[in-house]
Chains A and B, each alone.
Chain A
């Protein structure tokens, strides 16, 4: 299932690429794309695992950029 979420305080384009990389490696994620310009994340993942995946994705974002978060 494909979903798009807004992001907050994503302040660096290189970081967005790093997050994308790390999130794409999470289990159950088919594809992910983070747009620095639009400040949004589009994720295509297994539907039943989505809540878990988003939780992990949130952690990934925080690890790369302290203040950055996905608005779930």
Chain B
């Protein structure tokens, strides 16, 4: 508890004791007023001061003003105990709220406590401990067991196991050694490693992730915007109701003043929409925090609402449903040797980041001498063009290469084919294959079980490969042989009838589609800046099974938000109606105000609870 909270608690306890004393003595007349004013003042003096000062600043309808008015009114009509109780419970509610909100803030901060605060950098053969933002790209840092890896880089010395759970939710440590990439924010577990830094701290994975989570609360959910608008109308209406209720019946129908003023005060006591205004963002906050623990980063509560009711899931093939790691299955030269064909392709593709290009380079046994490449141009969705030792080499799909040279018929081959041409000569083709991820089928099954109506695959790949994977994973439809622009068109066609549409891709070349669909999900966020930028939801590792999990967490969060809204509104409405006809008194109003708020906050904290997945 903070000091402020402790002070409030002590004041509450003193006020309770004083009230109990007053009840036991049960004084009469002026003594009664004095004895009850005492605990009222002890527990509520700050509320009253703020209320009075607030009037001068033009704040008439804030909760403190209304509470002051309600309690002062209750004293005026002789309901001393109720007056004290309203103030007492208001403060108990405030205390509870501040503790609960503080706790959940701390929980989520702890969840995101992955910011490294120091780095051990090697300079002139000596170790210096510095702040991570003082390390520049290309320097070597040493990370010892138990330390958090401060910057993104590549291991140049040593091997170790790394705990990535803070970023990915994956509890199994990863085994890494020389040449492997390490990600900032993960924890080095077993060995001492030397890492060559590849990006500045400001651009590091951990920094981007933290920024993303911290700004997520700035994108408010539609429900929250609705509640804020509602709150703006609710308080003035209820207060107006209170005034009318207190004045009209005694004036027009000769009702008793004290009776109707009391009913008006009941209205004032339930005039704060606090339960809703606090619990809705708190729930979304909890849900976003809960998801981030699974390595699912949701950039705003509004995306959570969309995910919860998503009807169509559109998936990219390569890197999303499949591993995206192609391997060269076979090399089919025309007149050249296999070695020559592979060499030409590797040189042409060596500067491309496309997974196909990288696997061709990996399959080439020798190193690529970069100095021999004088020009290189990538034609997205088609292939690459490079000038190597004066020869123009093209590598790419059938349509692209056949525009330059004639390609003989190669019969039926399942896999991705890269045709290669040098100058005007056809060199042959390379067949590559890509495997479906082990958890793709299960993830698609889970999405269907969750009620997703359509699963659609988009790919630039050939129809026969696409359809085979579509059958294997039981997808509802498959769009093949698409250029990136066609992917946007395909999603746009789906949106009118099948919305909300989620698109899942690996973030490479996906930016237009990610921004066009209702919710864009990028996978493999670790290390891919593009994915983190463009998507609404980032799955930190490349497991598709995190997608149904994200839907589940979103639905649970939205359900809790809905429960709170219905519960709070129903109780308030009930008390308002019963209060107007004189059945519900001050005690019921206190419950409708403070009780409902406490219950709603407790309910919203359930969003943080980890629930075992139903198998």
Q: Write the residues of chain A forming the contact surface with B, with a CB cutoff of 8 angstroms.
A: 4, 11-15, 17-18, 20-21, 33, 35-40, 42, 63-64, 66
A15: which B residues are within 8 A, CB to CB?
Answer: 62
Q: Max chain B CB contacts within 10 Å: which of A4, A33, A37, A40?
A: A37
B278: which A residues are within 8 A, CB to CB?
Answer: 13, 36
B383 at the interface (CB under 8 A from A): no
Cα distance, A46 to B322, chains bound together (Å): 44
B211-256 residues with Cβ-Cβ distance < 8 A to A are 214-215, 217-220, 228, 231-232, 235
State whether A66 touches B231 (Cβ < 8 A): no
Cα distance, A9 to B219, chains bound together (Å): 22
State whether B281 touches A14 (Cβ < 8 A): no
State whether B215 touches A17 (Cβ < 8 A): no
B64-101 residues with Cβ-Cβ distance < 8 A to A are 94, 98, 101
Q: A37-B104, A37-B282, A64-B59 are in contact. Are A14 and B274 (CB under 8 A)?
A: yes
Cα distance, A42 to B219, chains bound together (Å): 10
Range for the number of chain B residues in contact with chain A? 20 to 34
Among B105, B220, B232, B277, which residue has its beta carbon within 8 angstroms of that of A13?
B277
Q: Write the residues of chain B forming the contact surface with A, with a CB cutoff of 8 angstroms.
A: 50, 53-54, 57-59, 62-63, 94, 98, 101, 104-105, 214-215, 217-220, 228, 231-232, 235, 272-274, 277-278, 281-282, 285
Cα distance, A33 to B302, chains bound together (Å): 14
Q: A36-B101, A37-B101, A42-B215 are in contact. Are A11 and B94 (CB under 8 A)?
A: yes
State whether A66 touches B53 (Cβ < 8 A): yes
State whether A63 touches B58 (Cβ < 8 A): yes
State whether B273 touches A14 (Cβ < 8 A): yes
State whether A4 touches B215 (Cβ < 8 A): yes
State whether B218 touches A63 (Cβ < 8 A): no
State whether B57 touches A38 (Cβ < 8 A): no
State whether B274 touches A13 (Cβ < 8 A): yes
Closest to A41 in B: B218
Cα distance, A21 to B274, chains bound together (Å): 17
State whether A17 touches B231 (Cβ < 8 A): yes
Among A14, A35, A38, which residue has its beta carbon within 8 angstroms of that of B231?
A14
Q: A4-B214, A4-B215 are in contact. Are A35 and B281 (CB under 8 A)?
A: yes
Q: How far is the CB of A39 from chain B (nearest CB, A)?
A: 7
State whether A63 touches B217 (Cβ < 8 A): no
Q: How far is the CB of B230 from chain A (nearest CB, A)?
A: 10
Closest to B4 in A: A9
State whether A37 touches B285 (Cβ < 8 A): yes
Q: A4-B215, A13-B274 are known contacts; what are 17 more A-B pairs with Cβ within 8 Å?
A: A11-B98, A13-B278, A14-B231, A14-B277, A17-B231, A20-B228, A21-B232, A33-B218, A33-B219, A35-B217, A36-B277, A36-B278, A36-B281, A37-B282, A38-B217, A40-B217, A66-B53
Among B58, B105, B231, B273, which residue has its beta carbon within 8 angstroms of that of A39?
B105
State whether B62 touches A66 (Cβ < 8 A): no
Cα distance, A33 to B101, chains bound together (Å): 18
8 contacts between A and B (CB under 8 A): A4-B215, A14-B273, A33-B219, A36-B278, A36-B281, A38-B105, A39-B105, A66-B50
State whether A37 touches B231 (Cβ < 8 A): no
Q: How far is the CB of A59 from chain B (nearest CB, A)?
A: 10
Q: How far is the CB of B217 from chain A (nearest CB, A)?
A: 4
Cα distance, A54 to B58, chains bound together (Å): 21
Cα distance, A4 to B62, chains bound together (Å): 26
State whether B272 touches A14 (Cβ < 8 A): yes
Q: How far is the CB of B95 from chain A (nearest CB, A)?
A: 11
Among A21, A33, A37, which residue has its beta carbon within 8 angstroms of that of B105?
A37
Q: How far is the CB of A11 from chain B (nearest CB, A)?
A: 7
A17: which B residues are within 8 A, CB to CB?
Answer: 228, 231-232, 277
Q: How far is the CB of B291 from chain A (nearest CB, A)?
A: 16
State whether A12 touches B219 (Cβ < 8 A): no
Cα distance, A35 to B62, chains bound together (Å): 18
A39: which B residues are within 8 A, CB to CB?
Answer: 105
State whether B63 touches A12 (Cβ < 8 A): yes
A64: which B residues are within 8 A, CB to CB?
Answer: 57, 59, 62
Cα distance, A64 to B50, chains bound together (Å): 10
State whether B105 touches A63 (Cβ < 8 A): no
B50: which A residues are within 8 A, CB to CB?
Answer: 66
Q: How far is the CB of B54 from chain A (nearest CB, A)?
A: 7
Cα distance, A39 to B108, chains bound together (Å): 13
Closest to A32 in B: B218
Q: How far is the CB of A13 from chain B (nearest CB, A)?
A: 4
Q: A4-B215, A33-B219, A63-B58 are in contact. Are A14 and B63 (CB under 8 A)?
A: yes
State whether A37 touches B59 (Cβ < 8 A): no
Cα distance, A42 to B228, chains bound together (Å): 17
Q: A11-B98, A13-B274, A13-B278 are in contact. Are A38 and B62 (CB under 8 A)?
A: no
Q: Max chain B CB contacts within 10 Å: which of A20, A21, A35, A42?
A: A35
Q: How far is the CB of B456 from chain A (nearest CB, A)?
A: 34
Cα distance, A13 to B277, chains bound together (Å): 6
**A-B CB proximity, top 5 nearest:** A42-B218, A33-B218, A13-B277, A35-B217, A13-B278
Q: How far is the CB of A29 from chain B (nearest CB, A)?
A: 14
Q: Max chain B CB contacts within 10 Å: which of A14, A21, A36, A38?
A: A14
State whether A37 touches B219 (Cβ < 8 A): no
B57: which A residues are within 8 A, CB to CB?
Answer: 63-64, 66
Q: How far is the CB of B213 from chain A (nearest CB, A)?
A: 10
Q: How far is the CB of B497 from chain A (nearest CB, A)?
A: 32
Cα distance, A38 to B281, chains bound together (Å): 10
Q: How far is the CB of A16 from chain B (nearest CB, A)?
A: 8
State whether A66 touches B281 (Cβ < 8 A): no
State whether A33 touches B220 (Cβ < 8 A): yes
Closest to B234 in A: A14
Among B235, B273, B281, which residue has its beta carbon within 8 angstroms of that of A37?
B281
